[in-house]
Amino acid sequence: MSDPLKKYIQQWINKAEEDLLVINQLLTMDILPKTAIGFHCQQSAEKFLKAFLVFHYVDFPKTHNIEFLIEQCVKVDPDFNDIESGNLTDYGVEIRYPGDFLEPTLSEIETLFHLVELIKELVLKKIQL
């Protein structure tokens, strides 16, 4: 693997980690900005999954669809079958605008955060830079 490709993959991971930092900071607030936390959970998961796909030279369209990205990862590694995406995709774009949107409960926030941690753990285990 070339150094530029390694650097590019590391950038995906760094961006995913940055979203996790934001989540952790938001979780310390007295009033939880739940939709923002949901958004950053979706964003972090998306970036970790894309890092895995780039590592394995898998092209993918511009998408925020976590289910689709997991399906692409499963084609490379069946261990991704163990990842349940839940409704993580729903927090990617639509939630950022007014109108009909999801307001996650505290329990859902915990589930989303746990899901991101599982995705992170699996991806980092599978990617050796």
> If you average pLDDT over every residue of the chain, what do you get?
92
Model confidence pLDDT, tens digit, residues 106-115: 899 999 999 9
Q: How many CA atoms lie within 13 A of 72 on its CB side?
A: 22
Question: Which comes out higher in pLDDT, residue 72 or 87?
Answer: 72
pLDDT attached to residue 1: 86
- Residue 101 domain boundaries: 3-126
Specify the 3-state DSSP secondary structure of 39.
Answer: helix
The confidence score (pLDDT) of residue 100 equals 64
Res. 65 pLDDT band, cuts 50 70 90: very high
Q: How far apart are CA 52 and CA 122, in angstroms?
A: 9
Query: Which residue intervals of 1-129 are DSSP H helices?
Result: 3-26, 34-55, 66-76, 106-126
Query: For position 59, what pLDDT does the model report?
Result: 95
Instruction: Please tell me the total count of domains within the chain.
Output: 1
Which whole number is the average pLDDT over 17-34? 95
DSSP assignment, residue 48?
A: H
Looking at residue 37, which CATH number applies to its domain? 1.20.120.330
Average the pLDDT over 68-85 and give the result. Answer: 95
Please enumerate in sequence order all residues whose Cβ is within 8 A of that of 57, keeping only pairs 6 or more positions apart, or say none: none
Residue 86 confidence (pLDDT) above 90? no
Per cent of the chain over pLDDT 70 is 94
Asked whether the whole model's pTM tops 0.85, one would answer: yes
